[in-house]
Amino acid sequence: MEIITAIKGFKDILPQETGKWRYIEEMARKIFTDFGFREIRVPILEKTELFQRSIGETTDIVEKEMYTFLDRGGEYLTLRPEATASVIRAYLEHSIHAADPVARLFTIGPMFRRERPQKGRYRQFHQINAELLGLDDPRADTEIILMLIHFLKSVGLADLRLEINSLGCPECRPAFKESLIGLLQDKEEGLCGDCRRRLTTNPLRVFDCKMEQCGTIIAQAPKLLDFICSTCRDHFERVKEFLKDFELSFEVNAGIVRGLDYYSKTTFEVTTEFLGAQNAIAGGGRYDRLVKELGGPDIPGIGFAIGFERLISLLPIKDEDFILTPQLFIAALGTEAQKKAFVLCNRLRTMGLRTEMDYTGKSLKAQMKRAGKLKSRYTLILGDREIVEKKAELRDMQKGTQETLSLDTMEEAIIKTLREG
C-alpha cells in the first residue's frame, strides 16, 4: 500500500525546523509588544464575502487563487488568503474600536492560495501580520515601517532594501487611471488575455501581471506619483522626512502597486537580492477605506505582512542551532535501576530539566552511544549493582570527566549541576 503524501504546495514543518520557527515567532512577539502591539488570533476559515469585499472581486486572488467551497449549510466559505481582512472583521465584530480609537494588532499563522509553488512560496504559507488602526498621521506609517525593519534586522537579516511609493487616494487616482487606460487601449493587442480583461474591469491590476509581453508595455505606463493630489503628496513627503530622522535608507519605487484593492497612500516593500525575481520579504501599506468598506466607521489603517517561509530561507542560522539537546541522559541497567531511573527522569522533567532515558534495556555501550547521538551534556550511569552500593556515576560528556554520587543525595546533586551547567 502506498504512503499518502502531502498535497502539492503544502509542506510539513519538521521537528528539526520548528526551533527556528519558534525563534522568529518569539522575536516578533517581543518586538511588536515593545511597540505596543497586541496579538489577535483569527480563524483560518471565513465567509467568502469578506474577501470579495476587501480584496476586490477582480483581483487574481479572488478570481483564481482562493480555496473556496460551498459548505453543507449552503454558504460559501474560504480559507483565508491573507490576514488583514480577518483582523478588521474581528476588530469590527467585537467593537475593539469602541474601547480605544487606536488599535495596534498583530497575528501569526497560515494563509492559503492556490498558485504555482516556487522557492519560499507554498499553497499553504505563513505570515506575520501587523495592523495599526485609527491614525492617519504620517508618523504611524513611519512607526510601522521602523518596527518592520527593526524586526528583520533583529532576527539576523542584513542587506535589506526598503522601497516606498504613494498610491494616492480616491480623489487623485481617477486621473491616473484614465491616463493608464489610454496607454493600454493603444497597445491592447500586445497584452495577454488576462490584462485585456483587466482593462475593462480593473486596469490597475495589470501591474500584477508577470507576463514578459505585458511587462514591456507596463514599463511605459504613467507614474502614479505624477498624479497624486497635494494632500497625498504632503503625506508622502512627511513619511520620507520621518524615515530620514531614523536614518532609514529607502528608495522611491513608482512601480510598487499593491495587489489588493484596499491600499491607498503609503505603500512599501522590503526586498533582498537573494530571492531572485520574487525578491520581497515583506510588504504593506495604508488602507484608509477598508474599515468603512467592511461596514465599520471611517477609520484609517496601515499594516504589513512578512512571508514566513521566505524569511526562514534567508536566515543566516542553521536549524541545529535551535535544537534543544538533553541536559541529562540516564543509562539504566537492570530492573530496579530502570524503575528508579524512570521516576528520576520524569521528576527532573517536571522541574524544567531536559532529561532522557532508554526504555529498551540495551547494553551500557549502546545507551552511551545514544546519549552521544542526542548530544546530552551529562550521562548518569545507574545499575542494579550501583543501587545496592547506594551510588551512581555522573559523566560530563563534554569534559570527559566522571564523579561518583551518593544515592541518598543524588537527585539534589544532579539538579544543582544541571542548573549551574
Q: Do residues 165 and 182 share a domain? A: no
Percent of the chain with pLDDT over 70: 95
**pLDDT score recorded for residue 20:** 92
Q: 19 lies in a domain? A: yes
Number of structural domains in the chain:
3
**pLDDT score recorded for residue 204:** 75
pLDDT of 383 > 90? The answer is yes
Q: Do residues 280 and 359 share a domain? A: no
Average pLDDT over residues 256-285: 78
| Distance between CA atoms of residues 27 and 25, nearest Å | 5
Q: Which of 292, 314, 336 is the last residue of a domain?
A: 314
Q: 237 lies in a domain? A: yes
pLDDT band at 275 (very low <50, low <70, confident <90, very high): low
Q: Do residues 199 and 132 share a domain? A: no
pLDDT of 418 > 90? The answer is yes
- Strand locations in 299-400, DSSP E? 301-307, 328-333, 355-357, 378-383, 391-396
Q: Do residues 116 and 238 share a domain? A: yes
Q: What share of the chain is helix, strand, coil (3-state, %, to 5)?
A: 45, 20, 35
**CATH number for 404:** 3.40.50.800
pLDDT of 365 > 80? The answer is yes
| Distance between CA atoms of residues 130 and 243, nearest Å | 19
- The label of the residue with cell 485609527 reads 134
**pLDDT score recorded for residue 194:** 78
314 contact partners, CB below 8 Å, separation of at least 6: 157, 272, 274, 275, 281
86 contact partners, CB below 8 Å, separation of at least 6: 42, 43, 46, 50, 80, 107
| Distance between CA atoms of residues 373 and 380, nearest Å | 15
Domain encompassing residue 289 = 15-172+228-314
**Is the Cα torsion angle 291, 204, 124, 306 positive or negative in sign?**
negative
| Distance between CA atoms of residues 408 and 188, nearest Å | 87
Q: Do residues 298 and 163 share a domain? A: yes
Average pLDDT over residues 272-281: 66
Going by the DSSP 8-state scheme, the letter that residue 65 receives in this structure is: I
- Of 133-137, 258-262, 316-320, 367-371, the range with the lowest mean pLDDT is 258-262
**CATH number for 52:** 3.30.930.10
- The label of the residue with cell 515583506 reads 282
Q: What pLDDT digit, counting tens, does each position of 90-140 carry?
A: 999 999 999 998 999 999 999 999 887 766 578 999 999 999 999 999 999
How would you list the strands of the sheet with 67-70, edge to edge?
Answer: 45-47, 76-79, 67-70
Burial code of 111-136, b = ≥16 C-beta within 10 A, e = fewer? bbbbeeeeebbbbbbbbbbbbbbbbe
Three-class SS state of 377: coil
Q: 87 lies in a domain? A: yes
Q: Which of 283, 314, 345 is the last residue of a domain?
A: 314
Q: Do residues 191 and 275 share a domain? A: no
Look up residue 134 and give its three cell numbers: 485609527
Residue 38 dihedral angles phi and psi, to the nearest 5°: -120, 145
Q: Are residues 150 and 238 in contact, defined by beta-carbon separation less than 8 angstroms?
A: no
pLDDT of 231 > 60? The answer is yes
pLDDT band at 57 (very low <50, low <70, confident <90, very high): low
83 contact partners, CB below 8 Å, separation of at least 6: 42, 107, 109, 111, 127, 129, 305
244 contact partners, CB below 8 Å, separation of at least 6: none
Q: Do residues 30 and 80 share a domain? A: yes
pLDDT band at 258 (very low <50, low <70, confident <90, very high): low
Average pLDDT over residues 238-253: 96
Amino acid at 407: L
| Distance between CA atoms of residues 269 and 280, nearest Å | 6
pLDDT of 259 > 70? The answer is no
Q: Which helix (H) or strand (E) holds 57?
A: none
Chain centroid to Cα 358, Å, comes to: 37
DSSP codes joined into one string, 179-238: HHHHHHHHTGGGS-HHHHHHHHH-GGGGGG---HHHHHHHTTSPPGGGT--HHHHHHHHH
Nearest to 331 by CA among 361, 367, 359: 367
Q: Do residues 255 and 184 share a domain? A: no
Nearest to 349 by CA among 359, 339, 341: 341
Whats the size of the chain, residue-wise?
Answer: 421
Q: Do residues 161 and 256 share a domain? A: yes
Q: Do residues 216 and 300 share a domain? A: no
Q: 217 lies in a domain? A: yes
| Distance between CA atoms of residues 328 and 344, nearest Å | 11
Q: Do residues 292 and 350 share a domain? A: no
Q: Do residues 82 and 27 share a domain? A: yes
